[in-house]
């Protein structure tokens, strides 16, 4: 079974995230959307809300699982018997950031990273932009599922 982990804080999940997962589905038998937790980080939406948002976005899709984890993403991949990490790239800065992490994950943990380039219509969307809009009482509904 080809299993991938798509990690993130998903605070909140965006249409860009959904696009990456939907386009990756033909590549894998199962995709685990893994919500990483960090006690030191302040989230806008609770873990329960984030998990519910993701489950709703992919309801009825048996290839998608949602899980919560703490610690190293690569260790979570091993625990879940996932051979691949799925990552979306919006721009060259994302690639530069992800490249070193991907190389370390492959060398140290044997987990391969698969990158999918964002569709142009979603490349400007980030969770931080959505949070900014939300914090200022703006309408962000066109950016999230």
Q: Which residues are catalytic?
A: 17, 41, 90, 127
Round to whole Å and give the CA distance between 42 and 26.
Answer: 34
Q: Which residues pair with 7 in a beta bridge?
A: 34
Full 3-state SS string of 38-84: CCCCCCCCCHHHHHHHHHHHCCCCCCEEEEEEECCHHHHHHHCCCCE
Distance in angstroms (rounded) separating the CA atoms of residues 137 and 1? 44
SS3 label, residue 136: coil
């Amino acid at each position: 079974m080809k299993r991938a982990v798509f990690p993130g804080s998903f605070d909140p999940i965006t249409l860009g995230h959904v696009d990456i997962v939907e386009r990756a589905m033909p590549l894998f038998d199962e995709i685990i959307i893994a919500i990483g937790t960090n006690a030191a980080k302040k989230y806008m939406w609770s873990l329960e809300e984030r998990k519910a948002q993701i489950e709703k976005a992919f309801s009825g899709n048996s290839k998608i699982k949602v899980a919560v984890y703490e610690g190293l993403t690569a260790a979570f991949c091993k625990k879940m018997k996932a051979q691949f990490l799925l990552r979306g790239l919006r721009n060259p800065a994302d690639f530069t950031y992800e490249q070193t992490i991907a190389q370390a994950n492959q060398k140290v943990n044997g987990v391969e990273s698969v990158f999918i380039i964002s569709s142009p219509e979603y490349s400007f969307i980030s969770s931080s932009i959505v949070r900014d809009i939300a914090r200022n009482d703006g309408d962000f509904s066109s950016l999230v599922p």
